[in-house]
Amino acid sequence: MADGSARLVVSVHDVAPASADETARWCADADALGIPVSLLVIPGPWRGMCLDDTPDFASQLQKRRAGGDEIVAHGWAHAAGPEGSALRRTVGRLVARGAAEFAALDEYQAGERISAGRAVMSRAGLATTGFTPPGWLASPAAERALRRAGFTHTTNHFGVKDLRSGRLHRGFALSHRPGGGWTEQFGEAMFSRVAQRNAARGGLVRLALHPDDLRQPGLRDTTLRTIERALAAGATATTYDAVVAR
């Protein structure tokens, strides 16, 4: 039986003008469940569009934050480049399907992208001190660049990290693997099972929702049922910045 200490963070990934409809769908589901979400915003060019070019979309995100959601920077352009060793690039392709933008950057390279992203976010009225690298992968040098730039928290596969103290609030990131086949089915089963177990144990439950999840029949329903079960097991819905503040 949970003791009420369990926390649930639902993060909506790849928030950008190109995914505005999918973002709105996930946010509507969150509103129906009465929970806040952490919105992971791609500030640079992604799928042919950029946050700088869509003031109406930025305004919608401002309203979401005013209503209790968190805004988090999500890399720059959400695409890995040629930087780093072959091993790091290979790991990034396997884990993040080519999106591991910060996995192999040195401090200068990371700093340039962080600075560009912060400028766009600031112009959009979405300045933030939270950062989640695409694929939850950031090199040690990139993490140093985040700290130097004044970010207070970041996330990886294993938890939420306070960049000021170095403390890691442990909680594995759970997400679907859309694409059909056994990997999608296995991921869907683990998504629900692990989340409910962690909630019952009083842990940190992290559910990551992506735009492409909505293209696969059943994944949205599994997600909503998982959230409901985590809440029923005693988890309190919160955001990444609130986890670190606590």
- d(C-alpha 218, C-alpha 37), whole Å: 21
Domain ranges of the chain: 7-245
Class level of CATH domain 7-245? alpha beta
User: Cβ(75)–Cβ(115) under 8 Å?
Assistant: no
Q: What pLDDT score does 94 carry?
A: 56
* Amino acid symbol at 219: L
Q: Which two tokens stand for residue 56?
A: 């109406």
pTM of the model: 0.91
With a CB cutoff of 8 Å and minimum separation 6, the contacts of 1 are 200, 234
Q: Residue-wise pLDDT tens for the chain (246 aa)?
A: 445 689 999 999 999 999 999 999 999 999 999 999 999 999 999 999 999 999 999 999 999 999 999 999 999 999 877 775 665 655 655 555 667 899 999 999 999 999 999 999 999 999 999 999 999 999 999 999 999 999 999 999 999 999 999 999 999 999 986 554 555 566 677 788 889 899 999 999 999 999 999 998 789 999 999 999 999 999 999 999 999 998
Q: Which two tokens stand for residue 136?
A: 């939850």
Given its phi and psi angles, is residue 144 left (phi above 0), alpha (psi -120 to 50 degrees) or beta? Answer: alpha
Q: Which two tokens stand for residue 27?
A: 């946010």
